[in-house]
Each structure stands twice: as structure tokens, then as C-alpha cells.
Structure 1
Amino acid sequence: MIKKNSALNTSLMFCYFLMLFVASCGEKKQQKEENEVSVEEEVVEETTVSSKKILFFGDSLTAGYGLELGQAFPSIIQQKIDSLGLNYTVINAGLSGETTASGKNRLDWVLEDDMDIVIIELGANDGLRGVPIAETKANLQEMIDQVQQDLPNAKIILAGMKIPPNMGPEYTSQFENIFPTLAQEENIALIPFLLEDVAGIPELNQGDGIHPTVEGQKLVAENVWEVLKPMF
């Protein structure tokens, strides 16, 4: 009887440890599957967070002079992009007072390896100061060349500009022609006139008569969006 009970106890102990072993294996397998799911979720999250970049490189018009940063047209473009669920991040690199000469020297500081679209909005201050046409065009050309060299896959948009006739009709006409000429020569996109339907309208510009108000910036954003949207 003792031997029989001993054998029975041994059998029960064996079954008990076998059940523990099976349970342990099941827990390890479940833990492994949970870890694998966690890793997959992390990868998906990282992929979702990453986005393409759009660089707005310009002067006070891009910077949103006299307004809050969120009211400048690049921020309005970001809102449009977000509303459509597009995976793009707008970078506002506008600097008040920028000319094509100073912009040419600053461009290298803001270009990144993963920029997908670059909008160059410079030249207005050149025109207002009467900078020689050939100099302005050469500076814009150099900036276009640098983007094409550093970011060969990036799309480039050039923002066209017009100025008041203060410098005389010949200078004014030659200045306006800089932008469509460059766009055609370099086969890049052109915003015909950044301030279309805004320039010269008092209620859409601040007291200086040059920089758009909040409502003016919305119209500027529409001018940009018309050219930018087909690139997505």
C-alpha cells in the first residue's frame, strides 16, 4: 500500500510539474507575441510621425511681418495640408529685410537633406532699393543652382514679384520679367505674382501699404496653394 501511494504521489507530482511547464511555455509564447506586436506598433508609429518637408525661404512677406507667426501664409498652407491629411511639414524660413544677396548667403544654413519642396520668395527688397536687375537675377539663379545641386530630387517654386513704378517703367518691367524668365530657363514652377489681388488694396495691407494684413495673407496663401497643390 505504501509503495502504491508513493507511486501515485510521484505520478501526481509529475503531472503537476508538467502542467507548470506547459503553462510557463504558454506565458513565454504569449509574452513573445506581445513583444512582437509592440515592436510592430513602434515601427508603424515612427513611420507615421516622419513627414516630408516644404521650405518657404523668403523675406518679411514670408515671415509675416507685423503679424503673429501663425497668421503668415506658410502657416495657412500648413493648415490646408493638415486638413487634407497630407504628410508634409511646412518650415517658415522668412527673414524681414532679406535681399537676394543676403538670402544667397543664408540659404546654406536652412537647407536640409530631406527637403522635398523649396519655395524661393525673394527679390521684393531688391526692387524697392533699385538693385541692378542683373545682380538680382544672378543671385536668384545661384540660389536655384544650389537647391538643384544639394537637393536634386526637390521641387522648386519661384515666387514672382512686382514693384511700384517708382524706379521708372523700364526698371519696373525688367524687374517683373526676372521671375518668369528664370522659371522658364530652369523649368521650375512659378507663382506669377505672390501678392495678386492683395497689392495696392488698402484694406488688405497694413499701415505701411506693403505688408498684408491677416485677410491679405489668406489671399496670398491661395496664390501659393494654386501652384503648390498639384505637386502633392
Structure 2
Amino acid sequence: MHKLTIIQRFLNTAHDMQVNVLKFCYFPMVLVLLSCGNDVKTKQQEQTVTPTTSETTITKSNSKKTILCFGDSITAGYGLDDSNDAFPGILQTKIDSLGLDYVVVNSGLSGETSAGGSSRIKWVLNEEIDVFLLELGANDGLRGVPLSETRANLQAIIDAVRAKNPNTTIILAGMELPPNMGQVYTSEFRSLFADLAKKNDLKFIPFILENVGGIAELNQNDGIHPTIEGHKIVANNVWEVLETVIGVR
């Protein structure tokens, strides 16, 4: 056989083998691509379903009006095993028992000062708030912060809430200090809250720890933070004002 003919047959055979190999490799690649395509479709379907579920949740959440408790460790429920035992949680139980369409949000932060509250208020205002309970200032007083600073910070918080929604009802919780802080300072500190409430036409709780502060059996070992029983009384103090705001009486 002519050498060129042999070489040509060899090349043709090699070409056929190469084509078959390519076909063999291509088949699993198609399977992979199809599989990926199915995964993409599945993910797209999941992404299509998820927003719908979220929107339903948001709609249900937005159907209720919001009461936001913005404060320090008193609001947060410092020292309690369950934060729901703090006065905001007790208020929610009360509201639920009455069948009222409100949800209570606990935005308390232990150790919070009026300056800290002023710094984080814009983040808190990202949600719609119908009733805003402001419980801050105690840590300022215990640290001897100049009253002018505390006043300015609380006013800034009030202004921020009203700028976000003028229809939000603001309740200001008054606070008192132990006598060891000095008579002049403690007296002016007490008046600060009443003055702010009057100036801004706010709903006012003269002393949120009324019938709790200074009573050993109603406070934890530190003598400052209420026990569960103490928080029940605090909740009643708040409720006396809150019930007039939400139309219970």
C-alpha cells in the first residue's frame, strides 16, 4: 500500500476518534449545564416566593400600632432572667389581655445615657412609631453629668422623634436621684423632666420608679434595679399614663 494512503487512513481514523472523544466529553457537560439551569430556576423560584412571604409578615406586623420604650437598664430589664419580665413585656401582656392592637418594642440598653440615646435615636426611628416612651437620664444623674447636657440631649431626642413623625405621642418618664448626689443637684435634676414635659407638651410620668425606688424588697441586690415584682409596679406607673394615650380611658 502506498505510504501516503496509509498515512491518510491513519489521520482519518485519528480524526474520527477525536470527534467521538469530544462527543463523549460534551454529553456530561450538557448534563451539568442543564443541572445548573435547574438550580438557577429553583433559586429564582425560591427568590420569587420569599419576598411574598416577607411582605405578608410585614403587612401583619404593620397592622398593629407600635409603642416603643426607649431607655436604659430599667427598660431593658437588667438583672432579670427573662427580659419579658421587664415593664415593657408586662405592658404587652396587659395590652394583649385587653385585645388592643398594639405591639410594645423594648429598646432599652443597659448603661445608656442621654448622650448615647441621642446618638442612636435615628436608627431606632427607622420603623413607624405611634407612642414613644422616653426613659433616660438616670445614668447621667448618677455620673454627675451637667444638667445642661442632659437637658440638651433629651430635647434632641424629642426633636428627632417629632421630625420623623409629628403625630407620634411622646411620653416622658421622670426620674429622681438618691440624696447623696447633693440637694441642689437632685432637686434640679427632678425639675428637669417636668420642665421638658411642659415645654414640649408631652405626656408625663413624674417618677417612673414611684413606690419602687428605695424599697429594698422591690429591688435587686444593687438597690437600683427593680425585681420582677418591682417591674410590675413600674408597669402600673406607666400604664396610668399610657392607657389615656391609647384610648382605654
Distance in 2 (CA, whole Å) between partners of 1:112 and 1:194 is: 26
* Partner residue of 1:65 out of 78, 85, 90: 78
1:90 aligned counterpart, secondary structure: strand
Identity of aligned residues (%): 60
Q: Which residue of 1 aligns with 2:69?
A: 56
Matched ranges for 1:140-179 at <5 A = 140-179=154-193
Q: Which residue of 1 aligns with 2:21?
A: none
Matched ranges for 1:88-107 at <5 A = 88-107=102-121
Distance in 1 (CA, whole Å) between partners of 2:126 and 2:166 is: 12
Count of equivalent residues: 188
Residues 221 and 132 of structure 1: CA distance in aligned 2, closer, same or farther (over 3 Å): same
- Which structure 1 residue ranges, 5 or more long, are not aligned? 1-42
Distance in 2 (CA, whole Å) between partners of 1:85 and 1:210 is: 33
Distance in 2 (CA, whole Å) between partners of 1:210 and 1:48 is: 35
One-letter amino acid matched to 1:78: Q
One-letter amino acid matched to 2:176: K
1:37-64 deviation digits (Å, cap 9, x = unpaired) = xxxxxx9xx6797200010000000000
One-letter amino acid matched to 1:124: A
Distance in 2 (CA, whole Å) between partners of 1:49 and 1:119 is: 19
Runs of 4+ in structure 1 deviating by more than 4 angstroms, as ranges, are: 46-49
Structure 2 residue 86 is the aligned partner of structure 1 residue 86: no
TM value normalised by structure 2: 0.73
TM value normalised by structure 1: 0.79
Matched ranges for 1:36-55 at <5 A = 50-55=63-68
2:105 aligned counterpart, secondary structure: strand
Distance in 2 (CA, whole Å) between partners of 1:87 and 1:180 is: 30
Cα RMSD (Å): 1.4
Q: How many angstroms does 1:128 deviate by?
A: 0.3
1:83-134 deviation digits (Å, cap 9, x = unpaired) = 1100000000000000000110011111134210000000000000000011
Q: Which residue of 2 aligns with 1:74?
A: 88
- Higher Rg: 2
